[in-house]
Amino acid sequence: MPTPTTYAPAKQFVGVANEVTQGTAVAMTATLLLDNFKAKDQPKWLEDKAWRGAMATDSFAQIPGVATSDLDLGGPVFIDGLGYILRNLMGDLSTTGTSTGTGSTTLSSPAAVGASSISTAATIPSGTQIQIGTGATAEVFTTGTPSGSGPFTIPLTSPTGGLAFSHASAQTVQPVTGPYTYAWALLNSGTGQPISHTLTHMLGPTATSGARQYPGTVFSECGFKWNAESDLFTWDAKATAWPSVALGAAPTANPGSVAPMASWRMAVGIGGPATGGTLIKTVTDGEISLKREINPYFTGNGVQNPYIIQRAGLTVEGKLNFVADSESPLLYMLNNTQPSLQLLISNGLSGLNYGAVQFDFAVAAFTEAEADGSKTAVEYGNQFKAVLNTTNAGGSGSYSPCKISVTCNVTPGTY
């Protein structure tokens, strides 16, 4: 007898790629390292129950209606892949590099959004990686061949698409290298809609390629968890996408070499940074949850797929568990102090290998604090909600509940 055809789940992998147009599938450009991926196509069925003189109440026909797919995924946090999810949920992105310490200059005239070149006081050699601006509107490009005799015109060749933010004259332009810090905040400019992604799932049974794609993916939830005693720093998420489509050719996994991080590396700062006098050494574990309201819209355009999966508001909340050394966790709530809150986890490495994830809440309202006297030490379990503020806002302005920064050596423009 011939050997039965089966497929080993151990060989599966999931790829991701940025979309130009929501719902138009693109080939994977990176591999998301996951230990959970569940996908379910969700067509709606329209039933014909018109009377026909039969003693039945079931439908006489099942007619396909509109369709989406639901995704549930997660695993350890890998800093080189996390940016795709954060860009999808939050949208506003600034990029800063590590200064080389030489060659700094300034803009000699303002630069507009979408500009593919800048004017500088000093020339910059072709192929130089530069950071334009600082803070929430910082962005990093590789330069092309300069022209002019002063001021100089400097082409911005990579990433393509031109400037994401406007920059005033005299802003700093400095050569940089990796690692880079990517900071995400709530996108408030334009339509307020972040980019979407195509997820590619290589599972095996699909004819020819073994893989199905989920275009137009929009994340509605992303949760982070850590436990200093027992766990890696992990994440899980939910998303909605267009119905799946069979991929024509087999994809190839291209995982990075970055390792996940142990939860004991998580540092918590209340009322200041997660260092020095505001470092809180008593937090044992915690959670952060980002939830975004989304809604697929369908129109009479002759296709089952959504016209758009629209994003609405973003909310952020979390939990922290303390070993009590005082009543401070309780007083955060009772006194409604709403302190700043920072959480920082790094891989402990240096140079280009350094990686970190940092959560900044300029205003954290502690809404619950429960004392637990049932264990070997008194504990407090606190819950908090992020309060919208301008401090955490990105280059698109207005308000944001938090800012999430990832430091890694991924090439600018990847996300």
Q: Note whether 25 and 155 are same-domain residues.
A: no
175 prior amide bond cis, ω within 30: no
How many whole angstroms separate alpha carbon 91 and alpha carbon 222? 14
Asked if residue 334 has pLDDT above 80, the reply is: yes
Q: How far is CA 60 from CA 45, 54, 113, 235, 304, in A?
A: 12, 10, 57, 45, 22
Task: State the pTM of this model.
Answer: 0.96
Position 57 in a domain: no
Q: Note whether 103 and 133 are same-domain residues.
A: yes
Asked if residue 332 has pLDDT above 80, the reply is: yes
pLDDT at 405: 98
H or E element in which residue 13 lies: strand 13-18
Tokens of 197: 């992604």
Choosing from 154, 178, 202, the residue where a domain stops is: 178
Position 44 in a domain: no
Q: Which structural domain, as residue segments, surrounds residue 170? A: 97-178
Q: In the predicted model, what is the mean pLDDT of residues 133-148?
A: 97
Q: Note whether 274 and 163 are same-domain residues.
A: no
66-95 pLDDT, tens digit per residue, is 999 999 999 999 999 999 999 999 999 999
CA 167 to chain centre: 25
Position 5 in a domain: no
- Parallel, antiparallel or unpaired: strands 364-372 and 379-386: antiparallel
Position 105 in a domain: yes
Q: Note whether 222 and 289 are same-domain residues.
A: yes
184-211 pLDDT, tens digit per residue, is 999 999 999 999 999 999 999 999 999 9
Q: Note whether 70 and 114 are same-domain residues.
A: no
Position 414 in a domain: no
Q: Note whether 238 and 301 are same-domain residues.
A: yes
Q: Note whether 170 and 195 are same-domain residues.
A: no
**Confidence class of residue 280 from pLDDT cuts 50, 70 and 90?**
very high
What percentage of the chain has pLDDT greater than the value 90?
99
CB count, 10 Å around CB of 228?
15
pLDDT at 1: 73
pLDDT at 2: 81
Q: Note whether 112 and 211 are same-domain residues.
A: no
Position 3 in a domain: no
Position 125 in a domain: yes
Q: Note whether 142 and 169 are same-domain residues.
A: yes
Strand partners of residue 63: 46
Position 50 in a domain: no
Q: In the predicted model, what is the mean pLDDT of residues 210-231?
A: 98
Overall domain count for the chain: 2
Q: Note whether 174 and 232 are same-domain residues.
A: no
**Confidence class of residue 295 from pLDDT cuts 50, 70 and 90?**
very high
350-395 pLDDT, tens digit per residue, is 999 999 999 999 999 999 999 999 999 999 999 999 999 999 999 9
- Over the chain, what is the mean pLDDT? 97
Choosing from 156, 178, 200, the residue where a domain stops is: 178
Helix, strand counts (H, E) of the chain: 2, 24
152-174 pLDDT, tens digit per residue, is 999 999 999 999 999 999 999 99
Confirm if 398 and 413 have CB atoms less than 8 A apart. no
How many whole angstroms separate alpha carbon 408 and alpha carbon 247? 31
Q: Note whether 300 and 371 are same-domain residues.
A: yes
Confirm if 277 and 269 have CB atoms less than 8 A apart. no
Q: Note whether 203 and 332 are same-domain residues.
A: yes
Q: How far is CA 411 from CA 80, 176, 281, in A?
A: 10, 12, 34
Choosing from 178, 202, 226, the residue where a domain stops is: 178
> Of 349, 376, 187, which is closest to residue 265 (Cα–Cα)?
349
